Amino acid sequence: MRARTKQLLLLIVTCLTLGACSVEGRQAVDFLWPDLNDPYVAATRTWSRSQTLYDGVNAEFTAVATLASSDWREAYAQRYGEVYGLTPQEQQDFLDDQMRAHERETTFIVAVSGAKRELTRLAPRLKTWRITVQNDGRTVLPQEVRPLQEEDWSSERLAAFFPHHTRWQKYYFIRFEPLSAGPVRLMVSGPAGRVAFDWQNYK
């Protein structure tokens, strides 16, 4: 496998250098890095932000926040249809459901991991963290902070829909009232510190 990988890398470098072998080069890239040309992976990376709090040199808390924009929901609906083999009508119905949800609320999918278990608990009643959004000159509190249940979201399902998934993460859906188009900042603040996630062109 290592020898084949080296051969493919050499092929890519040669093709890029000579401006030839475009088809073979693309095939090699797809083999080595299949996610590079995946529209859903690209959309998820575009709408995801990552931040880490450190205790000295050690990572104390890491969060990856994905903002469910209209573009992301459209890509998610496409991936959902591919994963579950939906018919064209079923996929259209699922996309319509996603767009209606987008009109009702603004949702963040937040994956957290930490050296201490209590730091991965985002429920407001625990007062470990305070979660807010800044948008259009306002500070808004969430309507719901809901952990994803393992019986509904297996590790395999998480990996299928979230390219940054690791088995140490805990996932939450965080719902807000519909936000205005434009800049959005999600804040997670508490005694352990503060992380901020910024998006400039939400819609």
Per DSSP, helices labelled H in the chain are: 2-18, 22-32, 39-46, 70-84, 88-104, 155-161
Q: How many C-beta atoms surround the C-beta of residue 59 within 10 A?
A: 12
- Give φ, ψ of 163 to 5 degrees: -60, -25
* Per-residue pLDDT at 125: 87
CA proximity to 58, closest of 7, 113, 11, 15: 113
pLDDT of residue 27: 45
Residue 128, CA distances (Å) to 67, 76, 197 in order: 22, 31, 18
Residue 132: the pLDDT is 97
The pLDDT assigned to 23 comes to 44
Instruction: Give the residue among 114, 135, 116 at the shortest CA–CA distance from 51.
Output: 114
DSSP symbol at 28: H
Which portions of the chain are predicted below pLDDT 70?
1-36
Q: What pLDDT score was predicted for residue 133? A: 98
- Residues 6 or more apart whose CB falls under 8 angstroms from that of 183 comprise 135, 198, 199, 200, 201, 202
pLDDT score at 35: 59
For the chain, the residue count is 203
Q: What is the pLDDT of residue 151?
A: 80
